[in-house]
Every structure is written in C-alpha cells, then in structure tokens.
Amino acid sequence: MNSKRIRNKTIFNLISFLLILIVLWLLPGALRSENLYIIWFLSAVVISIFLMIRYKSIRKQDILIAIFLGGISMISNRFFGITAIFAYLGGQSVFHNSNNKIIVVKSGSKMNITTTILLTVVVGVVLGIINLFFINMGMEKNPGFGLEWLSKAFRAGVTEEIIYRFLLFAICVHITKDKVLSKIENYLCYIIMSLPHALTHFTIYNINVVSVIGLFLIFGLPFALLQRKHDLTTAMGSHFIVDFMRFCVFRA
C-alpha cells in the first residue's frame, strides 16, 4: 500500500509539473504581454541553478560543451543561448549519476557513430519534408540560402532540444527520484518533453488544437524519443535539419 501511495504521489507531482508548464505558457497571452515569455526562460535558469547546487556533479567538460553550444546559439539569439548554457548544465548535473539519463552523444564504436549519423540525417530529412508539406499549404515559397538561416537553424536545434526536452526530462528524473518509471510515469515524461514545446508555437488567442496535436506527434515526440532512446546530439542534429530546410525554402 505504501509503495502504491508513493507511486500515486509521483504521478501527481508529474501532472502538477506539466500543469505549471502550461500555466507558464498561458501567462503572456492572458496578461497580454509578450515580455512575460521571459518568465519561462528565467524559470529554466533558476531551476538549472537549483539542480547544479542540489546534485553537485558538474564537470569541466560539461562547462566547455555548454559554452560552445550556447555561444554559437547566441549568434542568432543571445537570450536563448544563455538559457541553453544553464539548462545544459542543470540537465547534466542530474544525468551524471542517474539510471534514467539522456546521453549527450553515443561514442566508442564505429557502429554507434554510423547509427548517429544515419538517424540524424534520415529523421531530419523525413521530418523536414513533412514540415515543408504542411507549411506549403499556407505560405509562398521563397527559396534561398544565407548564413543567417544556418545560425537560426542551429540555434533552434540546439537550444530548443536542451531547454524544452533535455532539461525538462532531468526535472522529471528529479521528481521521480530516479526510480524505474512505470508506464504512466513514462508517458507523462514524454508528454512533458513534447507538449510545452508544441504550445510555444501558439498563444491562447490563436491556438489550434489540431495543429498542437500534429506538432506534438510529428515533431515533439520523435525528438523526445531520439533523446531518450539514442542521444541528445541526434535530436539536435535532426531538429537542425528540419529548421534549415524550412528556412531555405520559405526564409521564415
């Protein structure tokens, strides 16, 4: 009975966390202030600092990788880049000693490297084509290439995967106390890693439920699966390809 009660409490905590994330999405629209979106990123920084202090497992390599990824992302958006630095360090502080970790990059064997490259390209191109198909129904093509699109696609692939998925799953691991996840808990973690990011493409005034479900299933969930089943690098690379294809075809 005690074990069941603990499990129910964990599920309740995960649902509560998901609701908090939805409220953070609702606030800017409800208060009619775009500046309140900063609350989301400030919250990510504060939580990341808490995790770093709580777990005390940051390594020099983590700091170097965080600065590299965040630094390059700052070329496109300084605020996203800074937030990603903290989010990466916060997530890694949890995952270093976790059984439910997300690996940054699978390495060691040629098979792992080959699999990473193939997954990145195949998933990225397939999802990119699907994305272009849906966008094509509402926008005119304006093909072109520029370094600006390259930097924006890199920023999107890196920072969104780190902030909206890598860090959020680390928080899920913290909430569940790193125990083996039940099916319900596992499903909730995937929802937490996918739904908030899908919602950020809308406001409370222009939300389209069908589109949210589509983004959740076609883009959010695949990237979440890539992170948990393979590694963070594959998810970031695939995400980069999807956005880069969009920028080159529509310049938006």
Task: Find out whether 6 and 185 touch, Cβ atoms under 8 Å.
Answer: no
Given a cut of 80, whether residue 80 has pLDDT beyond it is: yes
CA R_g for the chain? 18
> Can you tell me the mean pLDDT for 126-149?
76
> Can you tell me the mean pLDDT for 171-183?
93
Q: What are phi and psi of 38, to 5 degrees?
A: -60, -30
The model's pTM: 0.92
User: What value does the mean pLDDT of the chain take?
Assistant: 88
Number of neighbours of residue 133 by Cβ within 10 angstroms: 9
Cα–Cα dist 15/130, whole Å:
31
- Of the pLDDT bands very low, low, confident and very high (cuts 50, 70, 90), residue 163 is very high
Cα–Cα dist 59/47, whole Å:
18
pLDDT at res. 82: 95
- Of the pLDDT bands very low, low, confident and very high (cuts 50, 70, 90), residue 142 is low
Helix (H, G, I), strand (E, B) or coil at 101: coil
Q: What is the percentage of the chain residues whose pLDDT exceeds 90? A: 62
Task: Find out whether 236 and 161 touch, Cβ atoms under 8 Å.
Answer: yes
Given a cut of 90, whether residue 104 has pLDDT beyond it is: yes
pLDDT at res. 153: 92
- Of the pLDDT bands very low, low, confident and very high (cuts 50, 70, 90), residue 240 is very high
pLDDT at res. 251: 65
Helix (H, G, I), strand (E, B) or coil at 252: coil
Cα–Cα dist 40/79, whole Å:
11
Q: With residue 55 as reference, give the H or E element that holds it.
A: helix 38-55
Given a cut of 60, whether residue 33 has pLDDT beyond it is: no
Given a cut of 60, whether residue 188 has pLDDT beyond it is: yes
Given a cut of 60, whether residue 22 has pLDDT beyond it is: yes
> Can you tell me the mean pLDDT for 79-86?
94
pLDDT at res. 206: 82
pLDDT at res. 195: 95
Cα–Cα dist 214/216, whole Å:
5
Cα–Cα dist 162/155, whole Å:
10
> Can you tell me the mean pLDDT for 192-209?
88
Write the DSSP symbol of residue 137. Answer: T
